[in-house]
Structure 1
Amino acid sequence: MKKTALITGATAGIGRATALKLSGMGYDVIVTGRRAERLEKLTLEIEGKGGSCRTLCFDIQSKDEVDKAMDSLGEQLDNIDLLVNNAGLAATAEPIQSGSWEDWERMIDTNIKGLLAVSKRVIPGMIKRSCGHIVNLSSIAGKEAYANGNVYCATKHAVEALTKGMRIDLLQYGIKVSSISPGMVETEFSIVRYHGDKDKADAVYKGLTPLTAEDIADAIEFIVSRPPHVNINDILIMPTAQASAVYNHRS
């Protein structure tokens, strides 16, 4: 019987690459995001390769929208085998004293509350079946704070804590809980962080070769393809040119 995976934030970057990867592994995928046209394009690509894809278009910052989307799944909601909590963003790179309250709320509502809203709806079905796997997308920012990262780092530290708490709470039900913590990955991440300033976004990766979305999807493939008795708690994955959140080598 084919397994079902739900991937949040699948309109671009890591989420999109993960949806393609999991579909190629034989999963029926449910993809979520705010941009309907991109979700439709992803569906066509997956179905064109013989896969199965269902889309849910909603803003993960709104619990009402999350609940409405989850309700639309009907019985399928209780039969999700894999949840990839990928939706997340950095909305600013300012020191704490000059940060925008709106940017802070956006990060907290997406990175923490959005993850919780979706997980709360998916977990009961996994408990009923005494099986399932949750993979949370964390970050090097969840392990180290850095200048101008303040609230973003705080949200990813929260993801780290939530992952550990989930793993403990769901242990008795045989549910695996994992996280993956990437360093520099070249996606739309920096474009969003710098509010569309492409020059600033490009400068983040200048002089080095960052990770790609496909690199992270490959790591997720490894996490979810382990035998039943093996759980990968966390993978910290960095480009060769990056040693930590703040140390990197540029040519």
Structure 2
Amino acid sequence: MKQVAMITGASRGIGRAAALAFASAGYDLVLAGRMQGDAAQRQYSLTGADGKPLPGSLGSVAAEARERGARVFCVHLDLLDGASAELAADQAQDQAGRVDVLINNAVYQGSDLNASLLDLQVETLQRVSQAYLISPLLLTRRLVGPMAQQGAGVIINVSSGAGESNPPVSAARGGWGYAYGAGKAAVSRLSGVIKAELGHRGIRAYTLNPGVVTTEALEATIGAEGIRALGAGSAPPHVPAAVMLWLCRQDTAGTYQKRTVHAQPFAREHQVVDEWSSPSGG
């Protein structure tokens, strides 16, 4: 039986790259995201320079993955709704039959996410708490029990340097705000608890920091010129995706669970992918 990977936030960027990497490696997929957004959901979505939602959908990624031989199921997931997270987990297991890998990649991306400290509203923190802390917990908890019964399972929580270090500059000058940093800090703590409590039952859990990744969302946030300025400090989405796949397939002993895996130096050190070029062509 083929293994099944469930990937949240799979419409574009790192999620899409992970879906295609796992499909190419022989996994079946459950892709989770906001399949049909209402007005309230669109309010908390990133838009491009034209003010329109960023391109990409679960359906288009599913079609690409099926071309690679994968069975693909799409389920609705709204991180701002805890019941949606639990329902997504139940639908994943009902439709795919099992889940062997869970990649918690989806994030809340409202325009208020990096508000400066003096402008930060309690409502923003409540949304961040729901999206970064509560919903991933509910989704993970719903799936990790059946994984433990299977005797094996892998959970990868996609974090960020913002959850483990201080911003280099203020939010107003391009750094991250307290809400985003606090949200990602919560994500960074989940894997260690899973390992401590369920590692003896065959569950591996990793915290992955993708670094700066040149996605549509990043361009919407800092612009194409900002991406070019990053130069060699950024990587395309297939780099962290390849590291996720490597961890699932190669690190069967769970060696890299005890620290945050920094995807870009890790990829170079372990020759996970061929060297990539910077956006500026260097």
Residue 227 of structure 1, CA deviation? 4.8
Q: Does 1:228 align with 2:228?
A: no
Aligned to 1:247: none
Report Cα offsets for 1:158-206 as digits up to 9, x if no partner.
11111111111112212101111122112243466x5xxxxx4335424
Aligned to 1:69: 88
Alignment of 1:13-162 (within 5 A): 13-36=13-36, 38-75=57-94, 79-91=98-110, 92-146=113-167, 147-148=170-171, 149=176, 150-162=178-190
Q: How many residues align?
A: 235
Report Cα offsets for 1:72-113 as digits up to 9, x if no partner.
345457721111111114543332111244433333222222
Q: Which amino acid aligns with 1:109?
A: Q
1:136 to 1:27, Cα distance in 2 relative to 1, 3 A: same
Q: TM-score, structure 1 length as denominator? A: 0.84
Q: Does 1:173 align with 2:201?
A: yes
Q: Secondary structure at the match of 2:207?
A: strand
Alignment of 1:212-223 (within 5 A): 212-223=236-247
Q: Which amino acid aligns with 1:30?
A: V
Report Cα offsets for 1:13-32 as digits up to 9, x if no partner.
11111011001110001000
Q: Mean Cα displacement is larger for which, 127-136 or 30-39?
A: 30-39
Q: Which amino acid aligns with 1:20?
A: L
Q: Secondary structure at the match of 2:115?
A: coil
Alignment of 1:228-247 (within 5 A): 228-233=252-257, 234-238=260-264
1:113 to 1:189, Cα distance in 2 relative to 1, 3 A: farther
Q: Secondary structure at the match of 1:31?
A: strand
Q: Contact 2:114–2:179 at 8 Å: present in 1 too?
A: no
Q: Secondary structure at the match of 2:114?
A: coil
- State the Cα RMSD in Å: 2.4
Which runs of 5 or more structure 1 residues have no equivalent in the other structure? 195-199, 240-249
Q: TM-score, structure 2 length as denominator? A: 0.75
Report Cα offsets for 1:139-168 as digits up to 9, x if no partner.
111210213321211111111111111111
1:120 to 1:238, Cα distance in 2 relative to 1, 3 A: same
Q: Which amino acid aligns with 2:9?
A: G
Q: Which amino acid aligns with 1:17?
A: A
